[in-house]
């Protein structure tokens, strides 16, 4: 058993007083070349857990580890303007919770957090039911865990928020949601096409919000968004539609973790046997290790709204800080043998040591409101794959390229369900 990591916490004042070295004048080409490994290779080259550089001409500080997570998670950073507009428009869009600051951000995030927390059990139960139906539809055919999980999670999410699109519309909306995730790091025609699909999905979501408002539905999740008030008036229909997508899209994104879970079960059959015993605690350990070990979000960015200190150096308001999520989840400061897949490390570790979905606690945090639901869904997927599904992993390229953002097994985890 490996030693476990504790939740990222601020080190003592004297532990990182060496300043932040410069990696190179502009590292845009390195980011494009290295993907998730961009930070890891930069830290190696400068001999520190943070470095300065420029990305597309903008001065940035890239950092990983406990101190960086504490600094970023403590607040004092705005997300708006910190990531490229091409990604912002696909993943969040204007007017969404991540584009807000101050009290409006806290109020909106509290609503989404309450929805995600209260609905966790229902969402997992819906996923369990839809998984069986999605598997049955492709039984005997070549498919992938990524595709089956996308179908099951999208259907579960639709039912969860209170919408039931007909089959043709369901497929189109699911494809649009998946495209927002697949193309978020792209530029040019692929990104433009995904944004066009997103606009169509937003129109669909706006029609649902408008309908819920007209019929007085304030109970379903769609209805709650339709009737949520800020500054004494309901949200604009377009903004409520964006937040509806910000509930649906992250559920669909969990499909990547499901594919990674299948990859882990295939690579570590001894853990498949442990999950097969039905022990919930063991399954949860493995779900947390899947979320820590495999690449999900590479980093999150913020622009300082006040001066901050990092490695003993003072940075002014306006400085862009990129917190390396993948690098922090693979930091030897926090994890013993970070590049080894070992769920036993969670036998006595806080799951909040994982920063795959952001950092911080409370309404002002930069952490996904659905993180606990994600952990529940990954644990459920592991149980379903081991105990409720018979499938064969087909010959394929099982490598996971860190240059592809977002990452996935090269073959998508191609399988045939019996």
pLDDT at residue 100 above 60? no
Q: Is the dihedral of CA 353, 270, 282, 415 positive or negative?
A: positive
DSSP 22: B
Mind giving me the DSSP string for 272-311? HHHHHTT-HHHHHHHHHHHHHHS----EEEEEESS-EEET
pLDDT at residue 109 above 90? no
Establish whether the linkage from the previous residue to 13 is cis, with ω within 30° of 0.
no
Q: What share of the chain is helix, strand, coil (3-state, %, to 5)?
A: 55, 10, 35
* CA 184 to chain CA mean position, Å: 12
Nearest to 180 by CA among 206, 200, 161: 200
| pLDDT for res 230 | 84
Convert the pLDDT of each residue in 27-72 to its tens digit. Answer: 999 999 999 999 999 999 999 999 999 998 899 999 999 999 989 8
What is the spatial distance between Cα 138 and Cα 124, in angstroms, rounded to a whole number?
21
What is the spatial distance between Cα 302 and Cα 281, in angstroms, rounded to a whole number?
35
Convert the pLDDT of each residue in 213-255 to its tens digit. Answer: 999 998 999 999 999 888 888 888 998 998 899 899 999 999 9
pLDDT at residue 364 above 80? no
pLDDT category at 84 given cuts 50, 70, 90 is low
Average pLDDT of the chain, as a whole number: 86
pTM assigned to the model: 0.88
| pLDDT for res 11 | 45
Cβ atoms of residues 237 and 206 within 8 Å? yes
**256: burial class by Cβ within 10 Å (0-12, 13-18, 19+)?**
buried
Cβ atoms of residues 64 and 327 within 8 Å? yes
The residue count for the chain: 418
| pLDDT for res 229 | 86
Nearest to 251 by CA among 344, 353, 120: 120
pLDDT category at 206 given cuts 50, 70, 90 is very high
Nearest to 408 by CA among 170, 150, 218: 150
Cβ atoms of residues 99 and 192 within 8 Å? no
Class of domain 28-83+105-144+154-159+247-417: mainly alpha
Distances (CA, A) of 384 to 113, 272, 276, 373: 26, 11, 10, 16
Distances (CA, A) of 174 to 60, 177, 179, 243, 283: 35, 5, 8, 16, 28
pLDDT at residue 363 above 50? no
DSSP 346: G
**378: burial class by Cβ within 10 Å (0-12, 13-18, 19+)?**
buried
| pLDDT for res 68 | 92
Convert the pLDDT of each residue in 343-360 to its tens digit. Answer: 999 988 666 578 877 665
Cβ atoms of residues 358 and 325 within 8 Å? yes
Where in the chain are the domains?
28-83+105-144+154-159+247-417
User: 3-state SS of 135-183?
Assistant: HHHCCCCEEEHHHHHHHHHHHHHHHHHCCCCCHHHHHHHHHHHHHHHHC
What is the spatial distance between Cα 68 and Cα 392, in angstroms, rounded to a whole number?
42
| pLDDT for res 352 | 58
């Amino acid at each position: 058993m490996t030693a476990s990591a504790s939740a990222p916490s601020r080190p003592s004042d004297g532990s990182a007083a060496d300043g932040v070295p410069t990696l190179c004048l502009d590292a845009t080409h390195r980011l494009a070349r290295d993907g998730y490994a961009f930070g890891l290779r930069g830290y190696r080259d400068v001999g520190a857990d943070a470095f300065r550089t420029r990305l597309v001409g903008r001065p940035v500080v890239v950092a990983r580890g406990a101190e960086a997570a504490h600094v970023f998670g403590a607040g004092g950073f705005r997300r708006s303007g910190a990531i490229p507009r091409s990604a912002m428009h696909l993943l969040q869009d204007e007017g969404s919770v991540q584009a807000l600051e101050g009290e409006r951000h806290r109020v909106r995030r509290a609503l989404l957090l309450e929805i995600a927390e209260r609905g966790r059990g229902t969402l997992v139960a819906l996923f369990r039911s839809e998984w069986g139906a999605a598997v049955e539809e492709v039984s005997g055919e070549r498919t992938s865990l990524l595709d089956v999980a996308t179908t099951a999670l999208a259907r579960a999410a639709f039912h969860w928020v209170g919408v039931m699109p007909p089959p043709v519309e369901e497929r189109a909306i699911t494809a649009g949601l998946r495209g927002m995730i697949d193309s978020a790091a792209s530029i040019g025609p692929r990104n433009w096409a995904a944004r066009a699909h997103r606009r169509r999905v937003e129109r669909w979501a706006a029609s649902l919000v408008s309908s819920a408002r007209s019929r007085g539905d304030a109970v379903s999740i769609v209805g709650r968004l339709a009737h949520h008030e800020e500054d004494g008036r309901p949200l604009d229909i377009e903004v409520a539609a964006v937040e509806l997508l910000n509930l649906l899209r992250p559920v669909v994104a969990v499909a990547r973790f499901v594919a990674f879970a299948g990859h882990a079960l295939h690579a570590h059959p001894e853990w498949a046997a442990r999950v097969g015993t039905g022990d919930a605690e063991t399954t949860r350990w493995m779900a947390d290790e899947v979320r820590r070990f495999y690449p999900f979000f590479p980093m999150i960015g913020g622009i300082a709204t006040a001066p901050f200190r990092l490695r003993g150096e003072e940075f002014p308001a306006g400085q862009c800080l990129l917190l390396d999520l993948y690098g922090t989840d693979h930091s030897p400061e926090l994890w013993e043998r970070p590049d080894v897949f070992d769920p036993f490390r969670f036998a006595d570790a806080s799951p909040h040591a994982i920063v795959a979905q952001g950092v911080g606690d409370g309404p002002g945090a930069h952490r996904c409101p659905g993180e606990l639901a994600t952990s529940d869904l990954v644990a459920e997927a592991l149980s379903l794959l081991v105990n409720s599904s018979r499938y064969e992993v087909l010959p394929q390229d099982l490598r996971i390229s860190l240059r592809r953002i977002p990452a996935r097994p090269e073959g998508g985890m191609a399988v045939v369900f019996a």
